[in-house]
Structure formats: structure tokens, C-alpha cells
Amino acid sequence: MPNRLAHETSPYLLQHADNPVDWWPWSAEAFEEARRRDVPVLLSVGYSSCHWCHVMAHESFEDDTTAALVNDHFVAVKVDREERPDVDAVYMEAVQAATGQGGWPMTVFLTPDAAPFYFGTYFPPEPRHGMPSFPEVLEGVKDAWAGRREEVAEVADRIVKDLAGRSLAYGGDGVPGEKELAQALLALTREYDATRGGFGGAPKFPPSMALEFLLRHHARTESEGALQMAADTCEAMARGGIYDQLGGGFARYAVDRAWVVPHFEKMLYDNALLCRVYAHLWKATGSDLARRVALQTADFLVRELRTPEGGFASALDADSDDGTGRHVEGAYYVWTPEQLAEVLGAEDAALAAAHYGVTEDGTFEHGSSVLQLPQEAGPADAGRIASIAARLLAAREERERPGRDDKIVAAWNGLAIAALAETGALFDRPDLIERATEAADLLVRVHMDETARLTRTSKDGRAGTNAGVLEDYADVAEGFLALAAVTGEGAWLEFAGFLLDLVLDRFTAEGGALYDTAHDAETLIRRPQDPTDNATPSGWTAAAGALLSYAAHTGSEAHRAAAEGALGVVKALGPRAPRFIGWGLAVAEALLDGPREIAVVGDPADPAFQELRRTALAATTPGAVLATGAPGGEEFPLLKDRPLVAGAPAAYVCRHFTCDAPVTDPAELRRKL
């Protein structure tokens, strides 16, 4: 019989709706039930494409004996971390402080007042590798609650006080300057893997935001070292197994240092961020590889993640049926030489194996290989390789597809809107701009209320119940600002302004700091506040970027001051931990450059206007904003008092609304930028 999760919209929660565990969603009612029964709360946090979440669900939460132990002695609460990043952040901080590590599934035991007192992540069904079994953990917590309640209360009280006492003083200490950005570049250089690209060792994650910083730093300073690190990392990833050589799109990370074997889940946010990185790399270098990967990743987003409502789904699972009834990680993507021969025939299979690095021993499990692209096909083989890729992709489509998490996360859709809008504009793909516009329309229609407050998620066109957090407001504003620049439609600038005014009103702290949740959000044991970039830009640094861009568009000193105040954290952390504040560093590069404000005025149907607009869009200038339209257009403040030149379309390049002399020649505009 389904439990309470059957009424939820989250695909992750719905995956547990038929568990014998009597799950509750996160709610006041769940904690009231724990008080009534005088039992602790078992909090389990995960997400739908999480491999080990599936493993623990199958081993423990689907087991009747384990479920009975949970139901008899705990109130079990299941949380989708993508729906409630605030809950996840608060308790993950406690897990990391207590154990030195974190991850998902996250398993935390709480008092009925939501105070944590025992922590972990994945627990196996029996003792393994020094880890206790999950039933042993349940028994231990049950006994401690029954026989050592005072000790449990002391631990919980100490943890809550420790968490509550952790406040960030970053902000308001001045903006990062040349010195801090140079120190950040030096620190990244020290951590750079000159052999394989990227930073650090295994597992290796795509460093999207650090790459944006490197590209912007090169654009501002002409640092060849910064560009080389970015270009070599992008090439290594694009040629490795972390990139889907047949269908496009990136997996979440590689388990090795050489990008060969991915953890196969594909996330919307990774692909949105990387699509934009490769488009920006193309602007800097003209690289054919960068152009191809940007477009293939954009096409992947539209083909694999777009929902019927026009938004973009959160993720694709790593696991799928391998043809024997077993759900196996990577089954959809990997190949053996025998499988190649079945699809292609012996001669083409040999060429495919050589081209994609498929070996008899395999690069993955059970003799299978993840496709790689050590080098491009030569002119003689290019047509044949294209045919091989098309046939392999068609054959792969016949396999059972990985599951898809269809919920729409506002922040990640904002990132996708920005990526598709820019990629479509750069490569003359109006269809991508249309998809970005449709996703933006969905966010306005479903996620924004009449006061412009955002809902975090939706599914099947129905808004969820969870309030948007700072990253939602910031990333959606970022997407709307990119769409305004590409389409010339000022409504998107206006919508971005609504959202950013709410950031100023509801998310700010003293001294330029920002909170992840609004002032009137649900009260947790600590109000989350994290400026560090992780898999996505933090809400803090994303807000700084959007505020700065909006200020450049409008001349608003309040928004610029807020952006500068928020960048104080980059001054503090950038030189010491640049990998974890990459987007903040990228925003700081924009601030040091101005950012430049570009106004292109004229008749949008005029080819001369279009050429100036294309030139402006292709500029590498860090964080530049673009307004286009008829002179004096009321929707964009940058167009005010910007006339044509001798009746011809013109471009104005400005800083702080003070402009150089207008130009009518695209080559001259290119030199200015």
C-alpha cells in the first residue's frame, strides 16, 4: 500500500512511495508525530539520479524487516535535496562537521525538535568494510534514545549551538582587485593537472566556473596561461568518456583523473554550464571542437531533457537495464567489440573500436568500454565515421533508457536559458533561442506569483510547494538577462529586475553578505549561508553576477553596490580556494572590466544593424551587457540618448553609462571590445 509520498510531485519521493517504510515528507506534521510518539526522526536525503540512493533503497528501504524496525521506533522523513536545498545544506554541514565527509544518501537522526545527534551517509544491509549495518545503526540509535536520552539531548544541543554560532563575516571588506585575481590564477596553476587537464585528482569534476574565470581573465589580461589551461581542460573532457561521444552531453564527473570512466548520471546544471563554457571558448579561440561540443550539448539539452511544458528536466539516471533484467550503472552507454560488430559488421566495427578506444579488455566493467575520442577522424574516414556514429546512436536508442527526473528546478532552468540563448545567438540557431524563450515563459507562468516570488520546482506544469532559494532568484535572473540581450525584448530585463529587487529585500545580511533563504522562509536550526561554488554557482556569487549585470543595464547604484558588497567574499576566498569560488572570480573579472555596456541602435531588419549586433554578441569582454533596438527604446535604459550616426545603425561602448564615440563599422567595434 503506498505511503504518504504518493501525494508528492518529486520523482525521487515518488520512487519511495511504495516502500514498506512509512515515509513522511518534510513537514511540521512529521515532527509533531515524533513528539506524540516520543521517538526520534530518521531523516533520509537524496535525489532521483543518485546511484547509492537507489542501492540503499533496494537493500534497506524495500526490505520488510528493516522497514518494520524503522516504523516501530522512528518517524521516517524523506527529502529530495533538489527540492529542499536548504534542508540538505543545514544537515550536510552537520554531517561533514561530525564525520569529515558527506554525500548522498544522507542519513541523519534528529530529535522531534529537528536537532541532529547521529549522522552518516550510505549504510549497507550488513557490516561491510568496517561500516556497521543499517539495522545495527537503527538498533543503536533506538537503544540510545531509550536508555541514554540525556546524553542524546546534550549531543544534539551542542551540535545545534555549534551550527548556530557559525556565521560568515565575509563581505563589505572591499572588492577583489588585480592582486587577488592574480593570486587566484597562481593558486589554480599550482593545482592544474598539466597532463590530463582539470584540477586535482580522482574523482574529477568538470570545473565549469573556474573555466569561466580563466576565459574572462584571458579576455581582460591576455594571459596565455589562463587560456591554455581552459582550452586544454575543455579538450581533455570533450575527448574523454565523461562526454557522450554519440549523443552529446556530459556526465556528472569522472571516477579517474584522465576523464575516461564517468559516473554516468547527467545533470541539467552541468550541461547548461558546460554548454556556455564551450561557446565562450569558441569566442576566444574559434576552435571547431568548442563549437561542436557547445552545439551538441545544446542539442542534448533539448532532445533529452526538455519536457512537454517547455522546461528542462533535472537529470538522467546513471543506471538502466543491461538486457538481463538487472539495473546496471552505465549499461546504456558502454560497448564491447562484439556489440560493435553486431551493429556495424566486422570491418566498420574495427574502425569504430580504433576511433572510440573500445578494447577487448575494456575500460569499464565486464570487458565493456566507455567511448572516447582520442583524435578527430581524418578526411578520408570522416564520412564513414559519421555513418558509424549515426548507426551506433540508433542502436543505442533501442536499449532501455536511463530514468529521467522530470521536475523543473527554477535555478537550473535559468542556467539552461542563458546557455541556449547565447549558443543560439552565436551559432545562428534561432531554434535554441526559441527553446530558451519557452523555458523562460514556463518559469514566469508557473514559478512566479503576482509579487514575483519564485517557487523552487514544478512538475507537469504544476508548481511545487517549496519556496525558491537565493540561487533560484539569481540564476533565473541571469537567464532572463541573457535572453534580453539576445532577443532585444526588454520584458526579460524587467522580469530580472523584479527578482533582483526581491534579493535585495529578502536575502541580504549586513556588510554585503547574503543568505540562501529569504527572511521569512521556514525556520531551520540554522539559516543556511554558503558563498562557495560547488557543482553550480552558489546563490551568493550568482546573485553578485546578476546584480552587476542588471546594474550595468540600468545604471542602478543600489544593485551595483549590492554586487560589490557580495564580492567581498571573493576577495577573502579567491586567493586561497579559487576552485571553490570560480563563478565569484568570473564576476570579479567583469567588475574590473567595468563591465562594458554595449548599445546597438538601428532598425533590427537592417543588415548593418545585424552585423553590429553579431559582433557585440561575439565579444569576449568579461561580463559585457548588450541592449539592442531603435534609438531611445524605452525598454532598455542603455538605448536612451543613443542616436543613429548619419542615419546609419551605430554601436556605443560604455562604462557606467559614459560612452566612447559611437562606431558604425563592425571591425572598429571589434577592436573596441
Query: How confident is the model at residue 167, as a pLDDT?
Result: 61
CB-CB contact of 176 with 198 (8 Å) = no
Percent of the chain whose predicted confidence (pLDDT) is above 70: 99
- Read off the pLDDT of residues 174-183 as tens digits, 9 standing for 90 and up: 899 999 999 9
- Cβ neighbors of 45 (< 8 A, separation 6 or more) are 78, 79, 80, 81, 87, 88, 91, 92, 104, 105, 106, 108
Residue 485 sits in the same domain as residue 572 = yes
Residue 53 within a domain:
yes
Residue type present at position 281? L
Dig out the grid coordinates for 343 from the structure.
551493429
* DSSP H stretches of helix in 362-469: 382-396, 410-426, 430-442
- The count of domains in the chain is 4
Residue 511 sits in the same domain as residue 652 = no
128 has a pLDDT exceeding 90: no
CB half-sphere exposure, 487, CA atoms < 13 A? 26
Residue 171 within a domain:
no
Per DSSP, the residues of 95-140 read HHHHHS---SSEEEEE-TTS-EEEEES---SS-BTTBPPHHHHHHH
Q: How many CB atoms lie within 10 A of CB 342?
A: 12
- Read off the pLDDT of residues 367-425 as tens digits, 9 standing for 90 and up: 999 999 998 888 878 899 999 999 999 999 999 999 999 999 999 999 999 999 999 99
Residue 155 within a domain:
yes
Confidence band of 51 (pLDDT split at 50, 70, 90): confident
The DSSP code for 381 is: T
Residue 322 within a domain:
no
- Summary mean pLDDT of the chain: 94
- With the C-alpha atoms ordered 602, 590, 427, 264, is the resulting torsion angle positive or negative? negative
Residue 86 sits in the same domain as residue 104 = yes
Stretch 501-523: mean pLDDT: 94
User: What burial letters (b/e) apply to 199-224, b meaning 16+ CB within 10 Å?
Assistant: beeeebbbbbbbbbbbbbbbbbbeee
Stretch 644-659: mean pLDDT: 95
d(CA 587, CA 193): 24
Residue 119 within a domain:
yes
Q: What is the CATH number of the domain that holds 148?
A: 3.40.30.10
Find the domain containing 507 and state its range: 178-317+404-593
- Read off the pLDDT of residues 436-495 as tens digits, 9 standing for 90 and up: 999 999 999 999 998 999 999 999 999 999 999 999 999 999 999 999 999 999 999 999
Confidence band of 168 (pLDDT split at 50, 70, 90): low
Query: How confident is the model at residue 166, as a pLDDT?
Result: 66
Whole-model pTM?
0.94
d(CA 296, CA 33): 50
Residue 75 within a domain:
yes
Domain boundary (345, 370, 396) is at: 396
Residue 356 sits in the same domain as residue 285 = no
Confidence band of 47 (pLDDT split at 50, 70, 90): very high
Percent of the chain whose predicted confidence (pLDDT) is above 90: 87
Query: How confident is the model at residue 320, as a pLDDT?
Result: 87
Lowest mean pLDDT among 30-34, 157-161, 458-462, 573-577: 157-161
Residue 160 sits in the same domain as residue 184 = no
- Looking at the DSSP bridge assignments, the partners of residue 243 are 250
Residue 111 sits in the same domain as residue 66 = yes
Residue 412 sits in the same domain as residue 515 = yes
Query: How confident is the model at residue 171, as a pLDDT?
Result: 57
Residue 580 sits in the same domain as residue 447 = yes
Domain boundary (571, 593, 615) is at: 593
Domain boundary (139, 164, 189) is at: 164
Q: What is the CATH number of the domain that holds 247?
A: 1.50.10.10
Residue 483 sits in the same domain as residue 432 = yes
Helix (H, G, I), strand (E, B) or coil at 44: strand
Residue 370 sits in the same domain as residue 387 = yes
* DSSP H stretches of helix in 268-317: 268-285, 288-300
Residue 9 within a domain:
yes
Confidence band of 163 (pLDDT split at 50, 70, 90): confident
The DSSP code for 240 is: S
CB-CB contact of 155 with 94 (8 Å) = no
Residue 325 within a domain:
no
Angle at 659 between CA 653 and CA 660, to 5 degrees: 75
Query: For the chain, percent helix, then strand, then coil, each to nearest 5?
Result: 50, 15, 35
Stretch 73-82: mean pLDDT: 96
Work out whether strand 658-659 and strand 650-655 pair parallel, antiparallel, or are unpaired.
Answer: antiparallel
Q: How many CB atoms lie within 10 A of CB 124?
A: 16
Residue 486 sits in the same domain as residue 454 = yes
Confidence band of 170 (pLDDT split at 50, 70, 90): low
- Read off the pLDDT of residues 308-327 as tens digits, 9 standing for 90 and up: 999 999 999 998 877 777 88
The DSSP code for 653 is: E
Cα 122 to Cα 45, 127, 504, 649, distances in angstroms = 10, 12, 39, 62
Query: How confident is the model at residue 660, as a pLDDT?
Result: 93
Query: How confident is the model at residue 619, as a pLDDT?
Result: 95
Query: How confident is the model at residue 88, as a pLDDT?
Result: 94
Confidence band of 352 (pLDDT split at 50, 70, 90): very high
Residue 343 sits in the same domain as residue 262 = no
Rg (CA), the chain: 26
